[in-house]
Structure 1
Amino acid sequence: MSKKKGLSLEEKRMRMLEIFFESKDVFQLKDIEKIAPKSKGITPMSVKEVLQSLVDDNMVDSERVGTSNYYWAFPSKALNTRKLKLDELKKQVSESKQRKESLQKAVEAAAVGREDTGKRSALLKELEGLRARRAQLRAELDQYRACDPDVVAEIKKSNVVAKEAVSRWTDNVFAIKSWTKKKFSFDERHVNKAFGIPEDFDYMD
């Protein structure tokens, strides 16, 4: 036997509104918590949440008096609320229709001069050919960048900087070798082997 399906939130909200509309009375939360489960089948655990959702949507009025909160709602209030909501939705629909018409006109205006004629097709084909030619020329230009005087000058400048850096490190290696030979009385071949220095290590030309 299948379990009985519970009420949806919207069903609970409508049933709770019936409590107010049928009695036309003012209630405290504890009153609603007693009435809702018995007369409307709303689970006790969800009463407060459902009531608060109605207050948040301005469908039930709430006022704090002293230490207690009082709740009430009348059919006329609900009718006005629904009417305001309906008016708001109608306004949104109207604005959306105007926006759609405006966009439609813009599309139609943009289409002017873009009719599929033989001349337009020929121009589009020519444009495509020119774009392909431009891409080809850019590729060729990239190939010849190595011959660009500015690029060559930059490479030469970089080479000078690199060579100076190599010379400094070569000086450092020779200084370390000299210090090691004097400090530990090692011969040069022993130092080269210990530090992995090639026998033909020397300054670059």
Structure 2
Amino acid sequence: MSKKRGLNIEEKRTRMLEIFFETKDVFQLKDIEKIAPKEKGITAMSVKEVLQSLVDDGMVDTDRIGSSNYFWAFPSKALHARKRKLEEFKNQFSEYSRKKEILQESIEKSKIGRQDTAERAALIQELAALRQKKDQLKAEIDKYKECDPDVVEDIRQANKVAKEAANRWTDNIFVVKSWAKRKFGFEDSKINKTFGIPEDFDYID
């Protein structure tokens, strides 16, 4: 035979409210601790915690008279508390919905300019080729730096041409970035990430 399932916190709260609603009486904690386990199946050790949660939510009233605390609750009070709680949840839902719409608009806006185009592909390919050429020329210079001065000079001239070409394309890329920032309000970091441009991208010295 399966073990009987215990009450969850909401079930305990509901049953404890029934004590007040059915009797329409005022109780001390010791009274509730006797009634709740016997009539509503609420374990004695959880009575104080459940009662305090109802007080915290404004569903049960309490007052101290002399050295004793008294508790009471009426259906109209509970209904008002539930309506207030429902209104709070509705306001929170409305606020979260508004934030979701703002985020969705931001996502859609961020997609602008990310479309793959022939121009973008050409720029990326040209940039990669120039970087590769630069690395090759640097390696050649390092290889022949102690060799014939004429050979070294030829390599340096070729490197200069490649450097000027790379800087022209760098200038073009900066122009495109400047246009994107003015047109769409994008930040440098977002443009760099979108087009695969390194953060330290700059002219070649």
Question: Which residue in 2 is equivalent to 1:79?
Answer: 79
| 1:22-171 pair list within 5 angstroms | 22-127=22-127
Q: Distance in 1 between matches of 2:132 and 2:21?
A: 75
Q: Distance in 1 between matches of 2:117 and 2:128?
A: 17
More displaced 10-residue stretch of structure 1: 81-90 or 101-110: 101-110
Distance 1:124 1:25, change over 3 A: farther
Aligned length: 139
Q: Deviations over 1:117-169 (max 9, x none)?
A: 221233344455667788x69x98xx9xxxxxxxxxxxxxxxxxxxxxxxxxx
Q: Distance in 2 between matches of 1:118 and 1:108?
A: 22
Contact 1:25 1:72 in 2 (8 A): yes
What is the aligned-residue RMSD (CA, Å)?
2.6
Alignment-mate amino acid for residue 85 of structure 1: K
Question: Which residue in 1 is equivalent to 2:9?
Answer: 9
Alignment-mate amino acid for residue 120 of structure 1: R
Q: Distance in 2 between matches of 1:132 and 1:66?
A: 89
Rg (Cα) greater in structure: 1
Quick one: percent identity of the two aligned structures?
Answer: 65
Q: Distance in 2 between matches of 1:132 and 1:123?
A: 14
Q: Where do 5+ consecutive residues of structure 2 fail to align?
A: 143-205
TM-score, normalization by structure 2: 0.59
Distance 1:26 1:111, change over 3 A: same
Deviation of 1:100 (Å) = 1.4
Q: Distance in 1 between matches of 2:126 and 2:30?
A: 81
Q: Distance in 1 between matches of 2:131 and 2:62?
A: 69
Q: Distance in 2 between matches of 1:131 and 1:74?
A: 79
Q: Distance in 1 between matches of 2:70 and 2:54?
A: 13
Deviation of 1:112 (Å) = 2.1
Deviation of 1:70 (Å) = 0.5
| 1:81 match: secondary structure | helix
Distance 1:132 1:98, change over 3 A: farther
Alignment-mate amino acid for residue 21 of structure 1: F
